[in-house]
């Protein structure tokens, strides 16, 4: 692991919302951060320009295997203490009987398949003893699914969690910490305007959990307080 003053993070999906605030928070704490976005410019680039080199921006469409391979090649000489994948879409509160095959495929590809493909493509950039983490949600907890609504989104996050479990089993001996993070219900484009939290409230706690868990063995599904979320 790097020293406290030289920790390095690769944040996938940081153009807005939780990913943007996480990239900013880690840079503020002294990490050197590379953050990806599908489109150039915007707040992420402005923050990078003002960061005195602590924050860099890379272009990536996470659902593209070609772009993942290109990013891995561009970063081949670097090593990261943290690889964090943040990606999710929601296509509305529909019962599963009203979800089209195309919509199901789109949400599952973005929320479940692509994050794990990203980990597989980029895990070699993570330093020995480093951390790979994915932004999950309490909505992916099967045991806590006791209220109606958002069936497709819940299914996609449960699928993400299961795929991450398979990833952790397959790479059990790689020495890397593996985390699924539930950041709480946040006021983002995805979470909606009535959510009780803002990213600026929740993400510092998420960063605390990431830092506290560095070096921990196995896979954990944790909330922003570091408490275990039931599968």
Q: Is residue 229 part of a domain?
A: no
Strand ordering across the sheet containing 219-223: 55-59, 32-37, 8-12, 80-85, 126-135, 177-182, 219-223
Residue 49 resides in a domain = yes
Q: Is the pLDDT of residue 110 over 80?
A: yes
Show the domain range for 187: 4-223
Is the pLDDT at 89 greater than 90? The verdict is no
Which of 53-57, 65-69, 70-74, 196-200 has the least mean pLDDT? 196-200
The reply to whether 128 falls in a domain is yes
Give pLDDT tens digits for 207-219: 999 999 999 999 9
pLDDT for the residue 196: 64
Distance from C-alpha of 136 to C-alpha of 62, rounded to nearest angstrom: 16
- Examine residue 206 and state whether it is found in any structural domain, yes or no: yes
| Cα separation, 187 vs 13, whole angstroms | 17
pLDDT of 2 > 90? The answer is: no
**pLDDT value at position 190?**
66
The pLDDT of 153-158, averaged and rounded, is 96
- Domain with residue 132: its CATH number is 3.40.50.720
Alpha carbons 58 and 126: distance in angstroms, whole number: 17
Least confident of 72-81, 158-167, 188-197, 217-226: 188-197
The count of structural domains within the chain is 1
Per-residue exposure over 125-137, b if at least 16 CB sit within 10 Å of its own CB, e if not: bbbeebbbbbbbb
Pairing of strands 80-85, 55-59: unpaired
Tokens standing for residue 24: 């900013």
Taking residues 45-59, report their average pLDDT: 95
What are phi and psi for residue 11, nearest 5 degrees?
Answer: -105, 115
- Residue 40: the pLDDT is 79
Q: What is the pLDDT of residue 8?
A: 98
Tell me the percentage of the chain whose pLDDT exceeds 90.
80
- Residue indicated by tokens 């980029």: 122
CA distances 24 to 43, 116, 160, Å, are 10, 24, 25
């Amino acid at each position: 692991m790097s020293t406290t003053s030289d920790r390095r993070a690769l944040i996938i999906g940081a153009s807005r919302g939780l990913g943007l605030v996480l990239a900013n928070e880690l840079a503020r704490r002294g990490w050197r951060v590379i953050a990806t976005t599908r489109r150039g410019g915007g707040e992420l680039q402005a923050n990078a320009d003002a960061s005195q080199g602590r924050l860099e921006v890379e272009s990536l469409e996470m659902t593209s295997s070609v772009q993942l391979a290109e990013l891995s090649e561009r970063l081949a000489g670097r090593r990261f203490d943290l690889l964090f994948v943040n990606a999710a879409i929601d296509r509305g509160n529909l019962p599963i009987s009203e979800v089209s095959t195309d919509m199901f495929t789109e949400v599952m590809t973005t929320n479940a398949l692509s994050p794990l493909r990203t980990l597989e493509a980029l895990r070699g950039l993570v330093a020995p003893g480093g951390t790979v983490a994915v932004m999950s949600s309490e909505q992916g907890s099967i045991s806590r699914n006791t209220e109606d609504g958002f069936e497709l989104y819940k299914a996609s996050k449960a699928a993400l969690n299961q795929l991450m479990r398979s990833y952790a089993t397959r790479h059990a001996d790689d020495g890397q910490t593996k985390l699924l993070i539930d950041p709480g219900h946040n006021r983002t484009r995805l979470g909606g305007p009535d959510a009780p939290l803002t990213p600026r409230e929740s993400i510092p706690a998420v960063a605390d959990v990431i830092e506290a868990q560095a070096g921990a063995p196995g896979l954990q599904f944790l909330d922003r307080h570091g408490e275990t979320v039931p599968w």
